[in-house]
Structure 1
Amino acid sequence: MKRSQFLALAAAAALTPAVAACGGKSALPATSQGVDVSGEITPREISWLLSRPANGGVVTVMQRIAENYAQDHPGFALKLITTPDRPSYLQKYQTLATANQLPELFDTDATPYAQKLARQGRMIDVAALLDDFGVTDQFRPSALDYQRFDDGSLHMLPLEYGLEVFWYNKALFESAGVSVPQSLDDMPELCATLAGSGTIPIALDGQDAWPLERYMAYHPFRTAGPDYIGALKKGDATFGDEAGRLGVQWLHDLGAAGAFQDGFSSVGYADAQNLFTSGRAAIYNIGTWELPSLATTELPEAMQEAIGYFTLPVVSGGATATDEYAAPSGIGAAINAQTFDPLVKDFLRYVLENYPKLYAEQGLLGPTTIAPQIPDNALPIYQELVDEADSIGSAVLMPWDTQLDPTTNTTLQQNLVLLVQGSIGVDEFISTLDAALTANAKEYFSA
């Protein structure tokens, strides 16, 4: 899981809106392909375009399921069309989509680009498929909601699930004389105190861009709720609006407090996590897909009793509650409507009958309500976080990198680093981003 789950440097970040001008097969009308297909099940090789770790839980479980299915359906095989990195994957995804050559299954976030494909009738209605299989109520509502487009439609099947929390080192907090923040507005002062005690306040994977962009999403989500990003991305709100300005100022203040490690913009995923697990950083914001790394006796001994977690702090008078925060179900699996036939439908039915239990055996939270199998070496915090998943609220914090148009998103990621480093101020940041929105948002979303 790790990087692939949230390196949603968005299909939007690399894909153009020119979906309609496709070669190859002509795009199907939006109403031409439903989930009611009938006929003989003829085994063949089907393909899945993806960018996930080969040894990750999703891929290993799906491969096992495909092998079992093939035993009863000789001639069936699931071919994985994978790429070594996210940018390469997005380029391949765009190329195949433009040529109308996407395989039977393909990974995508709920981006504006993917929504254009769905509106062209090129993706199966997953909500209808789950209803047809009678399994909708087995899924966590927040796992399904994460995959929905703005209009509420569901065209991606979630295969993962995770809560994003702030892991923290209790010993470093105690040594610095600080406590868990009750409000986001407490965090700059908290970080300044931690920095003054000689520790790195927050370990950040700055190299991958999305972790810092997640911080940009936090304050507006607490202040105005999920509607803000929905309006912002279309140019119907601005970074200069109250919710946006408060978020920009909050990030500026975190940077001024020395919240992140020196050189954070060039630090990668593994190194950021090591800063935390080695006891050099006090806080690390990452999801429960890291439970096997952060909640077991695989941790250094000094960390095993020191590790704790807190969820996204609220703000005074805010629009969202303590139980509402980021709980993504990762990149979703879309089903190509143009290649959907009795075999694909039967295989997906078999997947949904077997996947939840097998995935839970990996010890990971999944998109259904089946509880994961807690490993023998788990620390108490492992079960605590599994239990936390049962009380998640209804408001969904969507990652901004899957929401904004590609140009604005790139501009945001570049300028966030400058803002936190103190190279630009709040007003300049807002002016730059609002100019990007004006130039790109409405045209992109009207295309």
Structure 2
Amino acid sequence: MKKSFRLVLLTTTLLAGAAQAEDVTLTIESWRNDDLTIWQDKLIPAFEAAHPGIKIVFAPTAPAEYNAALNSKLQAGSAGDLITCRPFDASLELYNQGNLADLSGLGAMANFSPVAKSAWQTDDGAATFCMPMASVIHGFIYNKDAFDALGIAVPTTVDEFFAALDKIKADGTYIPMAMGTNDQWEAATMGYNNIGPNYWKGEEGRLALIKGEQKLTDPAWVAPYEQLARWKDYLGDGFEAQTYPDSQNLFTLGRAAIYPAGSWEIAGFNTQAQFKMGAFPPPVVTAGDECYISDHTDIAMGMNAKSAHPDEAKTFLEWVGSSEFADLYANSLPGFFSLNSTPVKMTDPLAQEFVSWRDKCKSTIRSTYQILSRGTPNLENETWNASANVIKGTETAADAGKRLQEGLDSWYKPAN
């Protein structure tokens, strides 16, 4: 009897071991260490439940260390099977070095628009090497209580926008707009590249700039600086020394009525602000104009070209490209919006307001991110500086455009 029991036990153990041996474990490399619990509690269990035999380990690195750590692992042959991709040049370099596989043939790629894929493609668009995951959208977050108290309607045109700012300033209860120029990047990111697409017509202008068919001295590229120059009167005393966290605090404490925003602020603002919030897209120049939004590609996922489990990795990436993942990810991280063509209904009302703009406006990405910031001077960093200078009044809009174009001309020669 004992021998029979031991035999059954041994057989059961061997069978369990064989089943366990068949499981494949894939490791994800990422710089997003702030969403570890979301991967562990929501995303990975959903995938593993539908794909028995494939286990996922999410192993993030601190953001500032990610690029260096990933490159070291790739060189040593110890990198994970799945690699979270930053937009544009850093990931393109990984692909050019043979570290990322070409994913163009995956079926889920059909779920993404050319704009969504552009951050993870070769310059000619022939190869796409990361499955798009999410973008961030720019616009303006406002204090609904302040707008209601002052009888201000949400502005839809530039004239209405400045009329609203004038009304807030005249009342004196609130700083009209919370933004500083100390850190420079927000003047460009939430300033120039927020309002600019309505002037240069989004992708039409951005691609024309890359092709050399438009210049930063053209009216469509100078006009956003002219608008930024007008912001100075509405930013409150001492805005020149005001840091990014200062601006966040001014708004969430209820001292400012409008915040030029990126959607990544949503989760933090929801926990900090004690008032009702709303959001509006960058106002169009003239009533009836087509509207454009900066819907900036932010994060994607690729496959280590040397993965020992390419089939399983591709199965996971097909899932990342699915509508199921899109819904789970976007609602777990409000403000990071799915790039999937299938619309995702957001449970967070502020996030839903931002993403609803895709239905009425054309999406584009930040004008400096693709190709145009590979040389010295770096156009992205120069745009930070120019935007801050124009707001402060230390450089004119025309001079800023001229300086940036001269810098670009010094190293960049359009392919055509």
Q: TM-score range by the shorter chain?
A: 0.7 to 0.9
Q: Which residue, out of 405, 408, 411, partners 2:373?
A: 405
> In structure 2, do the counterparts of structure 1 residues 50 and 292 end up closer, same or farther at CA, with 3 Å as the change threshold?
closer
2:280 and 2:404 map into 1 onto residues whose CA distance is 31
User: Aligned residue for 1:157?
Assistant: 131
User: How far 1:414 sits from its partner (Å)?
Assistant: 2.1
User: Aligned residue for 1:37?
Assistant: none
User: How far 1:243 sits from its partner (Å)?
Assistant: 0.9
TM-score, scaled relative to structure 2:
0.73
Asked whether 1:284 is paired with 2:259, we answer yes
What amino acid maps onto 2:231 in structure 1? L
Q: Which residue, out of 224, 249, 268, partners 2:226?
A: 249
> In structure 2, do the counterparts of structure 1 residues 437 and 60 end up closer, same or farther at CA, with 3 Å as the change threshold?
farther
Asked whether 1:82 is paired with 2:61, we answer yes
What amino acid maps onto 2:193 in structure 1? A
User: Aligned residue for 1:108?
Assistant: 85
Asked whether 1:337 is paired with 2:305, we answer yes
Contact kept in structure 1, 2:198 and 2:285, CA below 8 Å: yes
- Counterparts of 1:362-441 in structure 2, within 5 Å, are 362=332, 364=334, 365-368=337-340, 369=342, 371-372=344-345, 374=347, 381-382=349-350, 385=353, 388=356, 391-393=359-361, 395-403=362-370, 404-406=372-374, 407-441=378-412
- Counterparts of 1:136-147 in structure 2, within 5 Å, are 136=109, 143-144=116-117
What amino acid maps onto 1:250 in structure 2? Q
> In structure 2, do the counterparts of structure 1 residues 218 and 415 end up closer, same or farther at CA, with 3 Å as the change threshold?
same
Q: Which residue, out of 164, 178, 188, partners 1:213?
A: 188
What amino acid maps onto 1:252 in structure 2? A
Stretch deviating more after TM superposition (204-213 or 405-414): 204-213
User: How far 1:316 sits from its partner (Å)?
Assistant: 2.9
> In structure 2, do the counterparts of structure 1 residues 205 and 89 end up closer, same or farther at CA, with 3 Å as the change threshold?
farther
> In structure 2, do the counterparts of structure 1 residues 180 and 279 end up closer, same or farther at CA, with 3 Å as the change threshold?
same
Cα deviation, 1:202-224, whole Å, max 9, x if unaligned, reads 22375665432132124442123
Unaligned runs of 5+ in 2: 1-20
- Counterparts of 1:114-153 in structure 2, within 5 Å, are 114-115=91-92, 117-118=94-95, 122-129=99-106, 131=107, 135-136=108-109, 143-144=116-117, 151-152=124-125
Q: Name the structure with the higher strand share.
A: 2
State the SS of the aligned residue for 1:204. coil
> In structure 2, do the counterparts of structure 1 residues 346 and 211 end up closer, same or farther at CA, with 3 Å as the change threshold?
same
1:178 and 1:431 map into 2 onto residues whose CA distance is 37
Cα deviation, 1:346-392, whole Å, max 9, x if unaligned, reads 34345556634543663745344364563xxx6xx448527726725
Asked whether 1:204 is paired with 2:179, we answer yes
Asked whether 1:262 is paired with 2:234, we answer no
Contact kept in structure 2, 1:362 and 1:372, CA below 8 Å: no
State the SS of the aligned residue for 1:330. strand
Cα deviation, 1:253-305, whole Å, max 9, x if unaligned, reads 222x2346733665235x4333223221111233445544556xx5655x23x
User: How far 1:326 sits from its partner (Å)?
Assistant: 2.3
TM-score, scaled relative to structure 1:
0.69
User: How far 1:244 sits from its partner (Å)?
Assistant: 1.2
User: How far 1:246 sits from its partner (Å)?
Assistant: 0.9
> In structure 2, do the counterparts of structure 1 residues 186 and 93 end up closer, same or farther at CA, with 3 Å as the change threshold?
farther
1:284 and 1:277 map into 2 onto residues whose CA distance is 9
Contact kept in structure 2, 1:188 and 1:259, CA below 8 Å: no
Contact kept in structure 2, 1:360 and 1:370, CA below 8 Å: no
Q: Which residue, out of 298, 307, 310, partners 2:280?
A: 310
Superposition CA RMSD, Å: 4.1
- Counterparts of 1:188-203 in structure 2, within 5 Å, are 188=162, 190-198=164-172, 199-203=174-178
> In structure 2, do the counterparts of structure 1 residues 63 and 292 end up closer, same or farther at CA, with 3 Å as the change threshold?
same
1:57 and 1:272 map into 2 onto residues whose CA distance is 28
Cα deviation, 1:109-168, whole Å, max 9, x if unaligned, reads 442454455466653344421x1xxx4565688655665665445332222345433221
User: How far 1:174 sits from its partner (Å)?
Assistant: 5.0
What amino acid maps onto 1:262 in structure 2? G
Q: Name the structure with the higher helix share.
A: 2
User: How far 1:337 sits from its partner (Å)?
Assistant: 2.9
> In structure 2, do the counterparts of structure 1 residues 206 and 149 end up closer, same or farther at CA, with 3 Å as the change threshold?
farther
Larger radius of gyration: 2
Stretch deviating more after TM superposition (418-427 or 45-54): 45-54
Contact kept in structure 1, 2:26 and 2:81, CA below 8 Å: no
What amino acid maps onto 1:212 in structure 2? A
Count of matched residue positions in the alignment of Structure 1 and Structure 2: 382
> In structure 2, do the counterparts of structure 1 residues 414 and 80 end up closer, same or farther at CA, with 3 Å as the change threshold?
same
Asked whether 1:53 is paired with 2:27, we answer no
1:259 and 1:412 map into 2 onto residues whose CA distance is 20
> In structure 2, do the counterparts of structure 1 residues 140 and 231 end up closer, same or farther at CA, with 3 Å as the change threshold?
closer
Unaligned runs of 5+ in 1: 1-39
1:163 and 1:56 map into 2 onto residues whose CA distance is 24
User: What is the aligned-residue identity percentage?
Assistant: 20
Cα deviation, 1:9-55, whole Å, max 9, x if unaligned, reads xxxxxxxxxxxxxxxxxxxxxxxxxxxxxxx9873553414245245
> In structure 2, do the counterparts of structure 1 residues 386 and 176 end up closer, same or farther at CA, with 3 Å as the change threshold?
closer
2:199 and 2:36 map into 1 onto residues whose CA distance is 39
